[in-house]
């Protein structure tokens, strides 16, 4: 195995939700030219790679995660020429570009599905999951949709049901069919040939379903009022053994090109998750099965210390860790754990061992937007209103300045701008030494500057009175990180050294050692020795 370190190991990934990043033409929706116009911001922020959520032609039933053409650009986002300009501009700044890819399902408007639906004997019929009604009528089995209700929709014309893990407008492809695999790999090559540096694969752990279509097992913990999706366990619809073969095939598509990265969106417990690095010691799976456990773990020093230990010890030999703190499907960090703790969370994310992924706007400390009932856009909320499924609050537009459209648009934004935008925005925070953006810039700068912080080991993980403590080390360079994850002031022992950074941005250079008073949400980065 090569010991050479690659860009996706040393650098930080930044996720752009393209509808909400920068609008260039005043239609209220972000676009590729808008992203290009903000590349200097990203380059100076100190990230390494940009991952852009889907921009492919789409009816937008699920805002681009319903792809009608895997090799194009939706007019709302621009053209293929805009994409080519963007990738050239990204590379010219020494950055990398990762695209989102949605292999589990297409749009129902994709020509493949239109053909598949046209008749039972169409050659593409078997590209999707079609089933007869159950004997006596009704759904073929009990598989549910992630967005609520049964996962099966009946097609009157051909008398069969098709399965969709998400909306009925997002029919699942049949990954048992080799022709489907080849078609998707062909589309991947289309983007690799255009120079993309990697893929973030949507719902990678859901790709293949039980070939016998067995019923999922009931979920004894489900209670009415929770999403109907969880009324059954995903026994036969998720994490099927055959998935690993497909991931290895995808990886081999990428491996024909130098230094490309395969990232998988995978929500599984740590032990099932790390199997996506590849079933064998050769690590022929995804280089980065996304680790969402910081989002899912209780915000508590003991739980997080346990998580770090569990994850680090579960990683196969040679596998590189990664951590995600937020994305377009999850409540904003500052709303989840509060604005003070969000600062400690930033220090945690950027000082753990492994590649961090930052979701656009988190570097400003953006909170969830307020979405009135008549402003709801997300189908997950529309299908199951009022039970907390909606994702619009974390998708509100990026806040660039204090102008009427927050520098995001000259038109009417597709989702409302956050009410606190006069304080929380790039321009205001850039001029404020104590802002979240300044903290992010400092952390990103330190992480780049010090190999111990991007490459080094993580050691001595412990907690005391709700303060999480760990050390990052490489050669002679050692840093201790202390994070007060409680709501109260705490006093804990720190090793002797000098303060390099605090989340409250005070005391830099001060010698420390012994008892240390740490405010709620305060983090300390200490150079030891």
Residue numbers of the site for ligand NOJ (CB under 6 A)?
A: 62, 65, 102, 166, 202-203, 265, 328-329
- Give the integer Cα–Cα distance in Å for 164 and 144: 8
- Give the integer Cα–Cα distance in Å for 512 and 507: 10
Minimal CB distance to ligand NOJ: which residue? 65
Contact between 436 and 426 (Cβ < 8 Å): no
- Nearest to ligand NOJ of 62, 197 (CB atom): 62
DSSP-assigned beta bridge partners for residue 97: 50
- Give the integer Cα–Cα distance in Å for 162 and 184: 20
Active site residue 202: yes
Which residue out of 23, 48, 265, 392 is catalytically annotated?
265
- Nearest to ligand NOJ of 8, 267 (CB atom): 267
- Nearest to ligand NOJ of 53, 341 (CB atom): 53
- Nearest to ligand NOJ of 202, 429 (CB atom): 202
Per DSSP, which regions of 404-489 are E strands?
Answer: 457-464, 467-474, 477-484
Distance of closest approach, residue 202 Cβ to ligand NOJ, in angstroms: 5
Name the phi and psi angles at 122, rounded to 5.
Answer: -65, 140
Distance of closest approach, residue 265 Cβ to ligand NOJ, in angstroms: 6
Classify residue 419 as exposed, middle or buried by CB count within 10 Å of its CB (0-12, 13-18, 19+).
exposed
Contact between 263 and 356 (Cβ < 8 Å): no
Contact between 331 and 368 (Cβ < 8 Å): yes
Contact between 320 and 277 (Cβ < 8 Å): no
Name the phi and psi angles at 68, rounded to 5.
Answer: -100, -10
Distance of closest approach, residue 349 Cβ to ligand NOJ, in angstroms: 19
Contact between 526 and 479 (Cβ < 8 Å): yes
Distance of closest approach, residue 15 Cβ to ligand NOJ, in angstroms: 10
Q: What is the largest CA-CA distance in the chain?
A: 77
- Give the integer Cα–Cα distance in Å for 36 and 79: 13
Distance of closest approach, residue 508 Cβ to ligand NOJ, in angstroms: 38
Closest listed residue to residue 408, CA positions, set 425, 390, 430, 432:
425
- Give the integer Cα–Cα distance in Å for 496 and 376: 52
- Nearest to ligand NOJ of 336, 478 (CB atom): 336
- Nearest to ligand NOJ of 65, 127 (CB atom): 65
Active site residue 259: no
Distance of closest approach, residue 392 Cβ to ligand NOJ, in angstroms: 12
Distance of closest approach, residue 295 Cβ to ligand NOJ, in angstroms: 12
Order across the sheet with 13-16: list the strands: 288-289, 261-264, 198-201, 96-101, 49-52, 13-16, 355-359, 322-324
Which residue out of 48, 66, 202, 239 is catalytically annotated?
202
Distance of closest approach, residue 204 Cβ to ligand NOJ, in angstroms: 10
- Nearest to ligand NOJ of 19, 450 (CB atom): 19
Closest listed residue to residue 264, CA positions, set 204, 330, 328:
204
- Nearest to ligand NOJ of 328, 336 (CB atom): 328
Please state the separation of Cα 484 from the chain's center in Å: 26
Closest listed residue to residue 486, CA positions, set 332, 310, 347, 301:
301
Q: Which residues form the catalytic set?
A: 202, 265
């Amino acid at each position: 195995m090569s010991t050479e370190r690659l860009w996706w190991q040393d650098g930080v990934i930044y996720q752009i939700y393209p509808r909400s990043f920068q609008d260039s033409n005043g239609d209220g929706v972000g676009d590729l030219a808008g992203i290009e116009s903000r590349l200097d911001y990203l380059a100076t922020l100190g990230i390494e790679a940009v991952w852009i959520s889907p921009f492919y032609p789409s009816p937008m039933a699920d805002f681009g995660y319903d792809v009608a053409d895997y090799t194009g650009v939706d007019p709302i986002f621009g053209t293929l020429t805009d994409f080519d300009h963007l990738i050239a501009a990204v590379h010219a700044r020494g950055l990398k570009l990762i695209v989102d890819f949605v292999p589990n399902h297409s749009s129902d408007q994709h020509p493949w599905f239109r053909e598949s639906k046209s008749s039972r004997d169409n050659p593409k019929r078997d590209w999707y999951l079609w089933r007869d009604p159950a004997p006596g009528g009704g759904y073929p089995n009990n598989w549910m949709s992630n967005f609520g209700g049964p996962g099966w929709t009946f097609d009157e014309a051909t008398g069969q049901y098709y399965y969709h893990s998400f909306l009925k407008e997002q029919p699942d492809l049949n990954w048992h069919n080799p022709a489907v695999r080849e078609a998707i790999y062909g589309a991947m090559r289309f983007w690799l040939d255009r120079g993309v540096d990697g893929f973030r694969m949507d719902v990678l752990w859901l790709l293949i379903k039980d070939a016998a279509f067995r019923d999922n097992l009931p979920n004894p913990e489900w209670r009415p009022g929770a999403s109907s999706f969880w009324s059954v366990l995903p026994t036969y619809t998720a994490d099927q053994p055959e998935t690993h073969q497909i991931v290895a095939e995808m990886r081999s598509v990428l491996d024909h090109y130098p230094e490309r990265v395969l990232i998988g969106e995978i929500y599984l417990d740590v032990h099932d998750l790390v199997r996506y690095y590849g079933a064998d010691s050769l690590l022929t799976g995804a280089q980065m099965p996304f680790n969402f456990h910081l989002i899912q773990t209780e915000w508590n020093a003991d739980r997080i210390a346990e998580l770090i230990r569990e994850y680090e010890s579960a990683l196969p030999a040679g596998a590189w860790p990664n951590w995600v703190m937020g994305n377009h499907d999850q409540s904003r960090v500052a709303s989840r754990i509060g604005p003070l703790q969000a600062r400690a969370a930033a220090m945690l994310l950027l000082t753990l061992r492994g590649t961090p992924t930052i979701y656009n706007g988190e570097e400003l400390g953006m909170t969830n937007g307020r979405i009135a009932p008549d402003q709801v856009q997300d189908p997950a909320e529309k299908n199951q209103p009022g039970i907390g499924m909606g994702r619009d609050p974390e998708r509100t537009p990026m806040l660039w300045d204090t102008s009427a459209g927050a520098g995001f648009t000259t038109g009417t934004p597709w989702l409302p701008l956050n009410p606190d935008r006069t304080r929380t925005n790039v321009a205001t925070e850039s001029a404020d030494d104590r802002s979240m953006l300044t903290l992010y810039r400092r952390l990103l700068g330190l992480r780049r500057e010090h190999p111990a912080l991007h490459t080094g080991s993580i050691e001595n993980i412990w907690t005391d009175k709700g303060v999480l403590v760990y050390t990052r080390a490489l050669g002679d360079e050692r840093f201790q990180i202390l994070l007060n994850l409680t709501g109260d002031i705490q006093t804990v022992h720190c090793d002797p050294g000098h303060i390099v950074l605090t989340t409250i941005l005070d005391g830099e250079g001060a010698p420390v050692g012994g008892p240390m008073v740490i405010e709620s949400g305060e983090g300390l980065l200490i150079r030891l020795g």
